[in-house]
Amino acid sequence: MVKTKTKFYCEQCGYESAKWLGKCPGCEAWNTFVEEIETISKSRGAGTSISNKKEKPISIINIESSEETRVITGNQELNRVLGGGLVPGSLILVGGDPGIGKSTLLLQTSHELTEQQLKVLYISGEESVRQTKLRADRLQAVSPLLFVLSETNVELIEAAIDEVQPDFVVIDSIQTVFHPAVTSAPGSVSQVRECTGHFMRIAKVRGIATVLVGHVTKEGAIAGPRLLEHMVDCVLYFEGERHHSYRVLRAVKNRFGSTNEIGIFEMRESGLVEVSNPSELFLSERPLGVAGSTVVASMEGTRPVLVELQALISSTNFPSPRRMATGYDHNRLSLIIAVLEKRMGMFLQNQDAYLNIAGGVKLDEPAVDLAVAVSIASSFRDQPTQPFDVVFGEVGLTGEVRGVSRVDQRVREAQKLGFKRVIMPEKSLKGWTPPPGIEIIGVQTVAQALSAALV
């Protein structure tokens, strides 16, 4: 017997409802419900063919604790983001804009794994095997241990995995595959959820590291239900402007490592190339002696990164001045402008404020606040900052400068790149010794920082 049933699913969070709703009760998003037709059969359900072995509960005391064995890829930036390498049996989701380089990165990684005598199965649901071969020839990623398949049926993909017995599997992309037991279209909430659960069971039972490529929406989030990100072990976002040559790989979820690490790549004709010193890349086109430009030392995981902040303050005739920020939190920018108005006496109510993180990097830690305040004040007063100064520190609502973590790593990175002075919180001067050849200026308030930074 086969029964047909109509249900409505939220595209954002996967909330299920028997009728259409304008507002989702789960994520409170508007107009996100889509209608799907489910076919309920009494036959074997999806995903039951993998393992019928019954597991017994084990006391946690009797479980031996050991570190996860990792497969070190030839890409050091990818190893850093993953937490040290690929974990066998892990399920990884990679998202990014179309044409950003997701397939290029995974094809290069597959070739690097084959050089370690590991079998790789690259499954493409969007390209034929000839198209994949053309890209592999361009990237010089051809190996007899790299198997390519163009398929979208989950059951046929599982059969191919049984035949090849790979160590690493790439599914490009999860929105194109479908399970025949689910009658909805590929890319729908039901299909994405069921296929992801199927690949998760394959990865866990067989111990195969599996990567799923996910499409993104116009807002930049991975398409499909939010449940997709909860099911996988690691979520990576591939960021960057298509008109720029560098890319940023950022981990937003990682069960086997830190979520603060980023990997920097440069896109060339031969593929993606690692950038071992991203600070030098981001500061390569920095102008000297220009008002509104400040260098900040930010921490991305365990790596200090020096980035240029650019602020532009211009008068406006409109009653509501504009506040725009690229790569920085818009609400945090409004907070710092309010502190400068109240504590420093700057009249910014009739000024448009624009802030840009040069290089397309996104910074979200509080240590960037002081550099933002210095850049805004420099542009407003039309006074350039010292060209060889690095500024960092958290700004409070009363105008005080609060301490930040990992100060010694930030200072050493600044010294390595030839900077002469560092303006930082005075409370962070304790417990470490500054390296020779660089001047450290400790400040307690924003007023002290402005007097030291502006020429």
Provide the annotated binding site for ATP.
Answer: 96-103
Tell me the β-bridge partners of 178.
Answer: 153
* Structure tokens, 191: 């299909």
* Structure tokens, 125: 């649901």
Amino acid at 225: P
Distance, CA of 289 to CA of 43 (rounded, Å): 73
User: Residue 379: is the preceding peptide bond cis (ω within 30°)?
Assistant: no
The answer for residues whose C-beta is within 8 angstroms of residue 303's C-beta and 6 or more apart is: 80, 261, 262, 278
Q: To which residue do tokens 């799923």 refer?
A: 212
Distance, CA of 443 to CA of 450 (rounded, Å): 10
Instruction: Count each helix (H run) and each strand (E run) in the chain, helices first.
Output: 11, 21
- Buried b or exposed e, range 228-254, using 16+ CB within 10 angstroms: bbebbbbbbbbbbeeeeebbbbbbeeb
- Rounded to a whole number of angstroms, the CA Rg of the chain reads 26
Q: Which residues belong to the annotated binding site? A: 96-103
Report the SS3 class of residue 67: coil
* Structure tokens, 114: 């084959």
Q: To which residue do tokens 């010694």 refer?
A: 408
What H or E segment, with its residue span, contains residue 409?
A: helix 407-416
CB 122 within 8 A of CB 131: no
Which of 391, 398, 404 has the alpha carbon at shortest distance from 451? 391
- Buried b or exposed e, range 311-346, using 16+ CB within 10 angstroms: bbbeeeeeeebebebebbeeebbebbbebbeebbeb
Q: What is the dihedral of CA 82, 85, 88, 90, to 10 degrees?
A: 0
The DSSP result for 274-296, as a single string, is E-S-HHHHHTTT--SS-TTEEEE
Distance, CA of 186 to CA of 413 (rounded, Å): 48
Sign for the pseudo-dihedral over CA of 106, 110, 113, 115: negative
Chain centre distance of CA 402: 27
Tell me the β-bridge partners of 424.
Answer: 442
CB 172 within 8 A of CB 106: yes
